[in-house]
Amino acid sequence: MTDPDGQSGEWLLVTTFRGVVGKVVAKSRAPETVLEDGQDLLRALKKSRALGAVTDMGLLTKDAERVIRAAIARRRPTVGEEPVAFRDHFFRPIAIPVLSGADTVFAVWLWIGLDGTIPADPPLTGAWAWDIKARPALATYGPGVGPLYRRDDLKPGKQYDINEIAAINASTVDVSAIAPRLLDPVDGTTFALAPEPDRGQDGTSSLAAMRAITEVVYDPDLDRWEWRGVTWDVTHVDPPSNTPQRVIAQMLAGPDVWTATAYWWPIQLVSMTGSRQRPAELHLDPETHKADLRADSRAAVRRMIEELDHAESATARVWLGVNEGGYAAYDVAAVRLRDSTVSAAAVSLRRAAE
C-alpha cells in the first residue's frame, strides 16, 4: 500500500547533533517552518492526526526512540522490528539518518504510520560542520550536501576553506547576526537559517529555498569547537525571492566573470552567483586556499575599500597569481550593498584583456 499524500503519517526531523535523541525541529507537512527551540517527540506525536487511534502514546514514543537510536548506531535507514498494535491498527516507525562528513548522524527523519504503508520521501537533506576556531574556518560536508546543492564536486568528509566553497554558505540571515555566535561560541547555542542559494553548476544553476537548524558544539575528544547544521530543501513550498544582493551580482555578471557578495568583517565571502567557483586559472595557496595577491596590488584593494565607504561603487585592477606561472591582471568592480548592516558589496572579477 502506497501513501502518495502522506495521509497515514508525516516525517518529523529529529536532531541528534550529540549522538542522542534530541528535539523535533521540522515536519514534512510544513517543512518551511522551523521549530527553533524544538519540540519533544512525545508532544509532536500527540499532534499527529495520523495517530488518532493510539491511546498509549508513551509506548509508541519509546518504540520511535529505539528506532532513532538504532539508525544513529547503524548509520543507515532503519525500520521498527515489530509493528505496534493499538485497537485494530498496527503502526511501524521508520528512521532515515542524515550523515555528517565524519560519518556521524546529525539528524533523523522519523515517520510513523500504518504498517505496510510506503511513505513519500522526506525533504532532500544534508548535514555539515564548521571547525569555527580554525583560521580560516573549515567546513566539512556529509554525503547529502552535494545532491542538495547539485554540486558533484563536493567530496563528503573533505575539509574546505569557507571561502573556497562560498556558494554553499549563501543565506538570507545577516552575517552580523551569525558572527558573534561563532566568534565567541557558547556550547549548546542553537539557531535557524534560511539559505536561498543559486545552486548547481555548469549552466544548471537555479534558485532554491532551504531551511537549516544549527548548534554550536564543543567536542572534548577533539578539543574542537564545531558549528553543526542540518539543511533541507523547501523550494517546492516556499520559492526563493530575488534579493537586492542577487540582483546587483547578476548585473555585474557576464561571460567569464566571477561574481560574489563580499563582507569586510568578519567573514570575507558568504555567497556567490555567476560562475560557480573561483576562476580555475587562479593559483590558490594549498594551505589557505586563498589567491596570491601581488604585493603591489594590496594598495589598490585598500583604496577600493576606502572608496566604498563613501561611494556607491568602485573599481580596481589587481594582479593575481595564476597556475601557468607568474601573475595576471584582473579587473575588479564592486557595488556597495546599502541594505546590509555590515560593510558589504557585490563584487565581480574578470581577467583583464592582454
CATH superfamily of 242-354: PAS domain (3.30.450.20)
- Could you tell me how many helices (H) and strands (E) the chain has, helices first? 6, 21
- Which pLDDT score, from 0 to 100, does residue 183 have? 81
In the numeric block, the cell 504503508 is attached to 117
DSSP-assigned beta bridge partners for residue 96: 109
Cis peptide before 266 (omega within 30 of 0): yes
CATH superfamily of 2-125: PAS domain (3.30.450.20)
The stretches in the chain having pLDDT less than 70 are 1-8, 49-55, 163-177, 200-205, 242-278, 286-290, 338-342, 354
- Which pLDDT score, from 0 to 100, does residue 8 have? 53
DSSP-assigned beta bridge partners for residue 92: 113
Residues of the chain with CATH 3.30.450.20: 2-125, 242-354
- Which pLDDT score, from 0 to 100, does residue 205 have? 61
Q: Which of 218, 196, 261 is nearest to 132 (CA)?
A: 218
Report the C-alpha dihedral over residues 209, 210, 216, 221, rounded to 10 degrees: -130
- Which pLDDT score, from 0 to 100, does residue 50 have? 65
Query: The whole model's pTM is what?
Result: 0.77
Rounded Cα distance, 256 and 258, in Å: 7
The type of residue at 309 is D
Rounded Cα distance, 3 and 16, in Å: 27
Do residues 282 and 321 touch, judged by C-beta distance below 8 A? yes
- Which pLDDT score, from 0 to 100, does residue 270 have? 43
- Which pLDDT score, from 0 to 100, does residue 11 have? 96
